[in-house]
Homo-oligomer: A and B are copies of this chain.
Amino acid sequence: MNMHEQFNFAIEVLGTISFSMSGSFAAMQKRLDPFGVLIIAFVTSVGGGTVRDLLLDIPVFWMHDLLTCALIILTSIFTMVFKSFEKNFRVTLFIFDSFGLGLFTIIGVQKGLHADIHPLICIGLGTITGCFGGIIRDILLNRIPLIFRKEIYATACIVGGSAFLLLTKFTTLSYTIIQIFTILLIVSIRTLAVKYHWQIPKFYGYENNSEM
C-alpha cells in the first residue's frame, strides 16, 4: 500500500472502531444483552456503507472483509468489558465518532465519483454513508433518529462533501491534503456545533405541529 492508501486504511479502521463503540454504548444504555449489543454495534458500523453499496450496485464492502467484522466484534466486546471507563471515554468517543463521520462521508463521495455518479448525487451518497448507520441504530433501539435530534450531523456531511468536490475541481492541492482538510472540516463543524449549540436557522416559522 502506498502512503495514501495507508492513510485511508488507518482512518477507516478508526472510523469503524468509533462507530462500533458508539453503537455498543447506545445498546448497553438500552439494556440489550451482549449479543444484542454486538448486533447494534455491527449495524451502526456497516449500515451507512451497506446502503451506499446497494445503491451503487457494487459488492457490499464487509461481505468479503473479515477485518471489518473482527474489528467490530473485538471493539464491541472491549467496550462492554471496559465500559466502567465510559465517563473518561465519552470525549474520546465523541472525537472518534466525528472522525468516523468525516472519513466515511469522504469515502462515500469518492466511491460515488469512482462509479461515475454526478457530483451533486455523490454528496448525497457521502451523507448516507456517514449518517445511515446511526439512523438505523436509533430506529432499532426505538430512539428518536439522530438526524432528528442533531441535524448539524447531516449538515456537516453535506458541507464537507461539497468542500471536497469544489477543492478537487478548482484547486491543485494534493488529494490527501484535500481529504485531510475536508475531514477536519466536518469534525470541526460538528464539534463546534455541539459545543456552542449551533442551529441552522429555521427561516420558516412552523407552529402547527398536528399530523397531516
Contacts and interface: CB of A to CB of B under 8 A. Distances in A.
Nearest to A59: B57
A6 interface: no
A70 B123 CA distance: 13
Nearest to A209: B29
A1 interface: no
A5 B145 CA distance: 39
Contact of A117 (B36, B63, B145, B202): B63
Nearest to A128: B39
A199 B83 contact: no
A197 B24 CA distance: 24
A163 to B, nearest CB: 15
B56 A26 contact: no
A22 interface: yes
B148 A140 contact: yes
A46 to B, nearest CB: 10
Contact of A57 (B22, B32, B55, B60): B60
Contacts of A139: 139-140
Interface string A17-28: 000001001101
Nearest to A145: B140
5 contacts: A22-B212, A36-B148, A69-B120, A81-B204, A140-B145
Given A29-B211, A32-B148, A69-B121, 10 more contacts: A32-B147, A32-B151, A33-B202, A35-B151, A36-B148, A57-B60, A63-B117, A66-B120, A69-B124, A142-B144
